[in-house]
């Protein structure tokens, strides 16, 4: 078995706590990985004067693989989101966020099993913004949607559906109002869908999708959408399965000739943020990062270790004695991690 090296970003806030827990769990699951620890985020400014040091970029370029805890991003002014910069630099165009009901985790629904594939590099997040006058009385943000960017992420969603035995792809948009940008995304989806006659395809306006996700989330399978809608809907989907603490994500790039030296580059991270309100208290829930690590183990073809890690997480989540406080349990981070590891033995 090859032993890939992973660029490991411990992140800010609860990042170091959930990273330590996740590394322990991966190793106990038999994951064969070497770690290259690199810095990013608010902590990196303090240590290197730069939220995204060149050494971090160089490491990910070399390894093509990153496991990343959350990074603090100032709202309004301050430096640009390092998360967005990393996704754009490495052209990680597909953000994959599964949301599946977890037995034992308190939530309003049962039977949720959907995946949101979010375009990760374009739309309003392309970073094209300006004030229109020196007094800053108005501002413009420009959404960029290209046929190239739309096609590759929609193809990714269909290929993902095929690979994972899923039946249907729903394209989410607002093409009734944004006729050109969202119309382009929808037209591209209709074209791509013709190449996948084995997968059912439909489309839905984003506002109706938000409502239907709340009324009947079990009706959705794979959702593919643009950057902003994907960001919002995937947090909504995390809420359907018990909250941000348990939601994993991957950011996938695969185009040859991209910055990782022609190699596919992939970054795995929890959906939640740095949780500054509980940082340093030893009570954070590492499930989101652990399930992201399981996606990473699948990605590097270490499927047995991925399955063991998932099984350990499911077992520890099943009892209030071993769940963390955010899920109504009584365990702290270390006790939960011990339970995950015990269940794998």
Report the catalytic residues.
125, 174, 207, 231
Give 81's DSSP letter.
P
Minimum CB–partner distance for residue 276 and ligand NAD (Å): 6
Minimum CB–partner distance for residue 101 and ligand NAD (Å): 18
# residues near ligand NAD by CB under 6 A: 20
Residues 138-177 that bind ligand NAD (CB under 6 A): none
DSSP string, 1-25: ----EEEEE--STTHHHHHHHHHHH
> Which residue lies nearer to ligand NAD by CB, 10 or 203?
10
Residues 83-102 that bind ligand NAD (CB under 6 A): 83
Of 241, 275, 295, 297, the one binding ligand NAD (CB under 6 A) is 275
Using CB positions, name the residue nearest to ligand NAD.
273
Minimum CB–partner distance for residue 76 and ligand NAD (Å): 11
DSSP SS3 for 118? strand
Of 278, 294, 296, 309, the one binding ligand NAD (CB under 6 A) is 278
Burial of 111 by CB count in 10 Å (0-12 exposed, 13-18 middle, 19+ buried)? exposed
Of 7, 22, 59, 73, the one binding ligand NAD (CB under 6 A) is 73
CA atoms within a 13 Å half-sphere pointing along the CA-CB vector of 128: 9
Give 29's DSSP letter.
T
Residues 6+ apart with CB under 8 A from 37: 8, 10
User: What end-to-end distance do the CA atoms of the chain give, in Å?
Assistant: 22
- Strand 168-173 relative to strand 222-225, pairing: parallel
* Residues β-bridged to residue 250: 96, 268
Minimum CB–partner distance for residue 121 and ligand NAD (Å): 15
Burial of 211 by CB count in 10 Å (0-12 exposed, 13-18 middle, 19+ buried)? exposed
> Which residue lies nearer to ligand NAD by CB, 16 or 273?
273
Please choose, out of 115-123, 132-140, 200-208, 268-276, the segment that lies near ligand NAD by the rule CB under 6 A: 268-276
Please choose, out of 44-52, 69-77, 302-310, 314-322, the segment that lies near ligand NAD by the rule CB under 6 A: 69-77
Minimum CB–partner distance for residue 157 and ligand NAD (Å): 21
Q: 330-333: which pairs have CB atoms within 8 A and are 24 or more residues apart? A: 332/282, 332/283, 333/17, 333/18, 333/21, 333/282, 333/283, 333/284, 333/285, 333/286
By CB under 6 A, residue 227 contacts ligand NAD: no
Residues 284-323 that bind ligand NAD (CB under 6 A): 284-285, 288
By CB under 6 A, residue 59 contacts ligand NAD: no
Of 133, 140, 198, 277, the one binding ligand NAD (CB under 6 A) is 277
Binding site for ligand NAD (CB under 6 A): 14, 70-73, 83, 244-245, 269, 272-278, 284-285, 288, 326
């Amino acid at each position: 078995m090859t032993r890939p090296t992973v660029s490991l970003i411990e992140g800010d806030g609860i990042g170091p706590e959930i990273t330590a827990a996740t590394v322990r769990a991966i190793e106990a699951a038999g994951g064969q990985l070497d770690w290259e620890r690199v810095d990013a985020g608010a902590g990196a400014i303090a240590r290197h004067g730069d939220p995204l040091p060149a050494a971090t970029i160089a490491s990910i370029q070399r390894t093509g693989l990153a496991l990343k805890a959350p990074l603090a991003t100032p709202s309004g002014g301050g430096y640009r989101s390092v998360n967005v910069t990393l996704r754009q630099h490495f052209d990680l165009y597909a953000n994959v966020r599964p949301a599946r009901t977890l037995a034992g985790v308190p939530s309003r629904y049962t039977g949720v099993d959907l995946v949101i594939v979010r375009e990760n590099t374009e739309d309003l997040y392309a970073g094209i913004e300006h004030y229109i006058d020196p007094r800053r009385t108005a501002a413009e943000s420009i959404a960029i949607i290209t046929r190239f960017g739309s096609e590759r992420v929609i193809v990714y969603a269909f290929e993902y559906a095929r690979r994972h035995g899923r039946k249907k792809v729903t394209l989410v948009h607002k093409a009734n109002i944004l006729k050109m940008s969202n119309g382009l995304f929808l037209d591209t989806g209709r074209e791509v869908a013709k190449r996948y006659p084995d997968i059912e395809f439909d489309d839905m306006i984003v506002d109706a999708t938000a409502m239907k996700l709340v009324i009947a989330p079990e009706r959705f399978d794979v959702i593919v959408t643009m950057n902003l809608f994907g960001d919002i809907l995937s947090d909504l989907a995390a809420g359907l399965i018990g909250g941000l603490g348990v939601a994993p994500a991957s950011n996938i790039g695969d185009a040859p000739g991209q910055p990782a030296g022609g190699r596919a580059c992939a970054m795995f991270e929890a959906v939640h943020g740095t949780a500054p309100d509980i940082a340093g208290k030893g009570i954070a829930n590492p499930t989101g990062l652990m399930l992201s690590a399981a996606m990473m183990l699948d990605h590097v073809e270490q499927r047995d270790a991925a399955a063991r890690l998932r099984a350990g997480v499911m077992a520890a989540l099943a009892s209030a004695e071993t769940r963390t406080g955010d899920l109504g349990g009584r365990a702290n981070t270390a006790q939960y991690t011990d339970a995950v590891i015990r269940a794998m033995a």
